[in-house]
Each structure stands twice: as C-alpha cells, then as structure tokens.
Amino acid sequence: MKASDYIADYLVNKEITDVFGYPGGMVTHLMDSLSKYPINSHVTYHEQGAAFAACGYAQESGKVGVAYATSGPGATNLITGICDAYFDSIPTLFITGQVNTFESKGELGVRQRGFQETDIVAIVTPVTKFAAKIEDASKLRWYLDYAFYIASEGRKGPVLLDIPMNIMRSDIDPDTLQGFTAPIYDRGASFDALLRLISQSSRPVILAGSGVKASGASKLLNEVAHKLNIPVVTTMLAVDAPEDSYGFIGAYGSRTANFIVAKSDLVISLGARLDVRQTGADRGNFAPDARIVRVDIDKGELEYKVHPDEIDIHADVKDVLEVLLEAKVQELSGWNAVCRRIRSELEHIDDSLPNRLIKRISEIIPPDSVITTDVGQNQVWIAQSFKVKSGQRIFFSGGHGAMGYSLPASIGCAVSLKDTVYSFSGDGGIQMNIQELQTIAREKLPVKIILLNNSALGMIRHFQEMYFENNYVQTVPDGGYTVPDFGEISRAYKIPYTLVQSIEDIRDDLFSPDGPQFIEVRIDEPTYVFPKLEFGKPNQDQEPLLDRELYDKLMKFDETDIEDM
C-alpha cells in the first residue's frame, strides 16, 4: 500500500469527511490518494484560508480539523492558522509536504538544498503541541496515532506532520506498522476547597471561559448555574456558552459584568486564561475582595497568578461542573437582585449605532446557527450586542486575534454543518482572505457574509485619536487606507449582493433562503468601541466614565439596599 493511500484511509477511519488544502508539488501523492477515498478535499485559494477552514471545521464538528500544504511557502502560509489553533485550543492536524529525504540539506551548512526546502518543524514547534518530520515510512502509523491523540488530549491544539515526498510515495505493509497506545491519565485534582468556599460565599460569580466550550460542557454549565442560582459572566470567546449571563468581562466587556466581578466575594473561573485584557493591567484590581478559584486543564495557565492566595484546580472543566451539581450554597436571592439592579442601571449606557445594527441583525438569525466573526471593532460589537439564541455558536479568533479569520473559518463550519453559517467581517479583515469568496462561490456554500464597512481600520484609528494626536496614518482614506467597491467584487464572484445603509434596511427577510450571499452594511466613520478600559484602571471604571455619583452608588449598592426598597 502506498503511504499516502494509508494516510487517506487512516483519516477515513477517524471519521474525517473533509480536508482543506492547496495543491503543490510535494503533496501531489497525498492529493491523488485523497481523491480515491470518501473524503472531500476542499481547495482554498491560499494556504492560510485552508488553515482557518480547518479551524472552523474543528470548532463546529468537534473533530480534528485537517489541512495540507506543500513545502516551503505552502507550509509557511499555514502558520497564522496554526497559531490561531494553538492559542484558542482547536484540535487540528496540519500535513505538509517536504522535499525528498535524499535532497534534504541535513547537517550541511547551506540554507537549503532542495527547491522550496524549509524546516517547517523548527518554525512551528513553539506554536504546536507536537511537530515532527517523518523520515521512516514504517513509523507512519505511530505518528498519526500520536498526532490525533495529542491534538485532543488535555488542552486541545494543533499538530504538524512534515512528510518528504519519497516517504509519501513509498510502499508500506499496513499490517506491520506499530501504533501508539494512549496512556491512562489521572490529574488527581481535589475539589474540597472549592466546595467549602462556595458554601461560605454570599456573593459568588461563575466566570465561564472558552474552556467550557472546548470541553463540551455548556449544557452542564447551565444546569449548575440554574441549580445553584449563581450569576454567570463570561470571557469574550464564551459569550455563547451560558443560556443567560451578565455579559463578558474585561477591557471591552460589559460594564455590568465588570461591576459584578468587582463586588463579588468568590470568582469561580472555569477555563478562562485571565489575561491582561480580562483582568486589567493591575491584576490586584480584579475582584479585589474575592477569593479566586481557577479551573484549567492547562497547568501552565495556572502559573500566571491573579491573586497570590488563589486556589488552582488542574482539571477538566466538565469534571468540576459535575461536582458543582452537588454543591451546597447559601441563599443568594439578595445577591442576584443586586446583580439585576446593576444591569438595569447600566444596560443602555453604551448603545452606539453599530451595536444597534448588530442587535437587529441577531434578531433575525435563527436558533442553532453558527456565527463566525473577524477581528477588530466588528468582533467586539458582536460580543457586546449579539443576542444569542438557543443552540447558537459564535466562533472568534481570540488569543491570536487574526484578521482574515472569519471568511475561511465560515467555510469549514459550513462544510461540517451542511447548513447556513453567518460570517461577520470588517472591511479590513475581509480583504485579508477575500480570495476565499471563490471557494464559497464554487461550492455554493450557504455562507451569509455580513460586512460591516466603515472604510477604516476603526480600532487602530481610535488608538491614533487617543495617543497620536489624530494622525490617522494608514487607517482612513485620507491617511492612505482605502477599500474597494464591494458590490462589484461580490458580482465578480457571482455572489448575490445586498446593501444595508440603515437599521430600517434590516428586514426580517434580509437573508436569502439558499446559497451564499454578500451583505454590505455601510457605517459612517468615526466609529468607536465603548466601553473601553484605560490602561491601569480597574475593569468597572471604563471609558466614557460613568457619572461619579452613579459609579459610587453602584460600588456601594448591596443586599441591604434591596431589602429597603
């Protein structure tokens, strides 16, 4: 059996039905083999598009997403998607072709010997869970077994196998190949301290991070929150995890969520990294009067402390939530009333036109839909104002923050879902991978592209306004940044086009029933993302600043005020 045929057969046995890639000389054997097996190979128009599509496929399906590319520039073009999978814990397998082993530079001091020879393993090792070059065809099964295991074990993430062309075309005997046996792993975590603190807490809050989604524990989270009556806030990447929450925390987060955390006496952090954008630059200002219990499957994340006395639990979020179902809690009706009052005081303060547009569009997107977002102002507006319905999933490029993610990720989602996907982008992000409109058009994928076009790189323009005396270089038309006629582009790709210029244009029948659609929502500059945290301030004191009387009132407001009302 040819080695590349074995790879294709292996993917079939792993129930991988779709892979993404771009043709190249060193992967021609793999391309040929894939065509002979019940696997759909989706050609994208840039390897970065293939990498993001594999991410979207994995996020929507829960399977390992697979992308391939040839050696040299093909492999290096995958790197942005590999980083995205690494920082956002997405299980993915990247297969790169490599020059024949007899062409490889080996230990020679030359930069390269074979044409397009590049040491991709050395380049991606810091941003993968595992990366290896296969130089012995008899070890192919072991490498594939291990790659699939490690991509999904613990904190999920990307792996890369670099396979020289002569290994791809070599003959092997599948019956003689040795595999990898996965170890039995027990983290041995103790939950006693968490259960004790919950029983003593009068103002607890659950902080749901993307680890809740990665562990498939969103339903369990809702059961725990409902049974224990504990308020829930989220990180940006997990806004779709709870059925009901007070919004996401952090620099661009909900004022309500930030106030609730500031007033809590116990923060139960489930699969959240608690980085600077979530806690603020001065980590001591985050939940200053609270004990923090952090649950994370990645032990390394627990080393980055928020409070010196925090309690760390190295465990799967799902296991902890199952324990919490049996937790004993105090009477929390007063605390919940305080949280609701804070929301009623703050929920209409930051209500810009883009936020209202997102809210209106979200009203007509049906339940159980998949939504992808890009990076920039559009991402934050969606996290702030999209009204999540039952079963909806929203996927972001979070830790890596890669512009150009949404469009190709929506392709992977649509291929897996076999149903409509709603892809939000800004005018900057969509141009990063605009070539993937051809993938959508060619396969007639039901992707509804919603472009929020303010003809500017709005988030960076805002920074220039704040810190560079309005020197809008490279971010607005007068500074050298321009956008094309997106209607003409849509027509060139033969994708139906709709123009939205006001909220009134967003009718209930905005989305066509079938196939792809390009919807351009024009927004006049300047646009802003508010609320926004000034560096060094506590999370709840965001810009534009609240009236000091209201701020002080909310900080002092407690259960006794509820009783007196």
Enumerate domains of the chain plus CATH numbers: 3-176 (3.40.50.970), 192-346 (3.40.50.1220), 353-522 (3.40.50.970)
pLDDT at 110 over 80: yes
Over residues 108-117, mean pLDDT: 92
Over residues 345-361, mean pLDDT: 93
User: What is the amino acid identity at position 290?
Assistant: A
What are the pLDDT digits (tens) for 405-416? 999 999 999 999
**CA–CA dist 426, 453 (Å, integer):** 6
**pTM (predicted TM-score):** 0.96
CA dist 358 → 85, 228, 364, 388, 502 (Å): 27, 32, 10, 11, 12
pLDDT recorded at residue 560: 84
pLDDT recorded at residue 535: 86
pLDDT recorded at residue 190: 86
Over residues 548-552, mean pLDDT: 95
pLDDT recorded at residue 565: 53
The answer for residues whose C-beta is within 8 angstroms of residue 247's C-beta and 6 or more apart is 233, 234, 239, 253, 254, 256, 257, 384
Phi/psi at 21 (5° precision): -175, -175
561 falls in which pLDDT band (50, 70, 90)? confident
* 338 CB-contact burial (10 Å; exposed 0-12 / middle 13-18 / buried 19+): buried
pLDDT recorded at residue 184: 79
pLDDT, averaged across the chain = 95
